[in-house]
Every structure is written in C-alpha cells, then in structure tokens.
A = this chain, B = another copy of it.
Amino acid sequence: MDVKVQLFGFGNVGKAVARVLVEKKKFFREKYGLDFKVVSISDTSGTLWLPEGVDLREALLVKETFGKLSSWTNDYEVYNFTLEEAVKEIDADIVIDVTNDKNAHGWHLTALREGKAVVTSNKPPLAFHYAELIGEAERRNVPYLFEATVMAGTPIIGLLRENLLGDTVERIEAVLNATTTFILSRMEMGLHFEEALRQAQSLGIAERDPSGDILGIDAGYKATILHCVAFGPKTFDEARVKGIAEITLGEVQRARKKGKTIRLVATIERGSITVEPKEVPLDSPLAVESHENAAVIWTDLLGELVIKGAGAGLKETASGVVSDIVKAALTITGG
C-alpha cells in the first residue's frame, strides 16, 4: 500500500532517514506491505514537492553536492512555502519533523487537524506543548509519535506508552545526553572541562554552540517528555535543570577514587523533573560510556527495569523515526 510522506528537515538526521527509506524499500514492502512515497522534502532553502514521489537517491545526491535543495532546478520545482504552508498545501498521510524548529508545535497541530499523522524527533514541541498536541491527536484519532526524541531509537517511549500497562511507574532515573557523557569520560582521563569540550566539538559530538548539551537543556527536554509519558503533562519550565559546566577535574577524580563516576542524571517522579550531575557507582546501569543512554524504571509490580542503548547517532536516531513511520502507516492503513 502506498503511504505518502512529507519530510521536514534534510540535515544529517533527515538524510539518514531518507537513506533508510531507500535502502530498506524491499524490507518495508515484504514485511509490512508498505511503500513509502516521499511527496515533499523541506530544508531551510525551500520545499521540493512532487506528488508522484521524489527520487530520494537524487535528492540525497543534490543535497550532498550543493548543500541545499534549492540548487536543484532542472527537474523539480522548489517552492518557497513556510513549513505551515507546506503542511496545508501538500497532500500526504504522514508528516515527519526532523528539524530543530523550536516553534514546530504550530505546524504539528495544523498537521493533526488536517488528519495527518505526525512523527517527530524534534523535542521542544513536546517539552512545551505536550498536553495540547496529544489532546489534538486523541480527538482526531491520529498517531502522534516521538520515539526518537528520547534515547534516539532505543524504544523507551514505546516501552512506557504501550507496555507496562498494568504497572504504576514510581520513578525513572536516566542518562539522556551523550555529549555530557563524552566530556565527563574525557575528564576522567585527565582533561579539563574546556579541553574535553573542545575535543567533543572537533569530533562533531558537541555543536559549535554547546550550551544546549552542557547546560542540561537537551536532557531537560527529554526528561520532561518522559514525565509527560509516565506521569502526565508538564512543561520544561517546571523542570529543575543543572548542567555540567561547573564540574571540576577534581570532582571527577574524587568520584573515581570512590568507585563512582559523575554523569548527568535525570530523575523523574510524579510532579518532579530534575536534571543534575550525580555520582553513580561504576556498576550502576547509569554508568554509561560513549554514545549509550540508559534508563532505570521502577514500578509497583515489576520492580526495577533497565533499558540501555544508543542515545545519539544518525542511523540510531533514524531507527526511532523510521519505526514510528511504520507504526503510523500500519495504524492508518489498519494493518
């Protein structure tokens, strides 16, 4: 069955999603009977729109060669839509948001009102407007899916939203940001914070403006989303967030001597969201390395549950986005 998809965002994650859709075309058809037809791709330069479906291999080539879709002028029309207009004008079943648009909740709502499913890896819409978005999706009976917003493709959202349905979650502790883990690990090897940060930046692990990661904002968004799913709506403004910028080499080394390691830990309980650097024992599931994230979930019936996996990376984030695209498509087509 043909499923029409709009892709918003064609940076690293958008390209990774497009690559999975190209490379696993046969897999989706054989396993689920689904043919994804990407009818539009939007980047900051414009919106490429072709109702019969964009050739993703070509789009990837253009993007990689010229850096922007608007350079592609021979075969395709590139439109100057706002994202809101692109949602309204273009016929599709699923809207995919892999942008960093902080104001995306507006066009997410528009998509839902148009009866389109929404799949997003973009966190601020959820961290600030969860109740409104989920409310709209439920009223319209349209999927609103966001697995990749927390722990990349590691399915903690699916686990909390669609499983453990008889359990009452009591508490979640999690390491949700890989950049801070990288920096803290390098400090354990003897680097000062600034050196470790520079290394992370030169490796492309931290962004040029690293404040979102090191001030704990990224982890705070994710922790807020986990609270929304496990305990009900809350916004990022209500989270208590402290980053790792003030951690000293001495603190890191003292922790190590006690058999512990400092990680940026999110603690989520009903009505309370906290993100702060904490000493965790080396044998704790939260003592993650490299790009791994981990969460420990305590419930009344099951006790302690650990889920651990990739929390960053392009393929790893695409994993979550694409799983949601399939889930949305199966729901829409009644599969």
Contact = CB atoms under 8 A, between A and B. Distances in A.
B305 A306 contact: no
Interface residues of A, number: 44
B319 A310 contact: no
Contact of A166 (B162, B163, B323): B323
Interface string A146-169: 010000111100110011111110
Interface stretch (A180-188, A217-225, A295-303): A295-303
A11 interface: no
Contacts of A302: 152-154, 309-310, 315-316, 319
A27 interface: yes
Copies in the assembly, this chain? 2
Given A309-B303, A309-B304, A319 B166 contact: yes
A312 to B, nearest CB: 11
Contact of A309 (B165, B306, B316): B306
A27 B165 contact: no
A146 to B, nearest CB: 13
Interface string A321-335: 111011100100000
A208 interface: no
B167 A163 contact: no
A24 interface: yes
Contacts of A315: 301-302
Given A301-B153, A302-B316, A24 B166 contact: yes
Given A152-B302, A166-B321, 17 more contacts: A24-B166, A153-B302, A162-B162, A164-B323, A165-B326, A166-B319, A166-B325, A167-B319, A301-B318, A301-B322, A302-B310, A302-B319, A303-B309, A304-B309, A305-B308, A306-B308, A308-B308
16 contacts: A20-B301, A24-B168, A27-B168, A147-B163, A153-B164, A153-B301, A165-B330, A166-B322, A167-B319, A299-B319, A301-B322, A302-B309, A303-B313, A304-B310, A305-B308, A307-B308
Interface of A: 20, 24, 27-28, 32, 147, 152-155, 158-159, 162-168, 283, 285, 299, 301-310, 313, 315-316, 318-319, 321-323, 325-327, 330
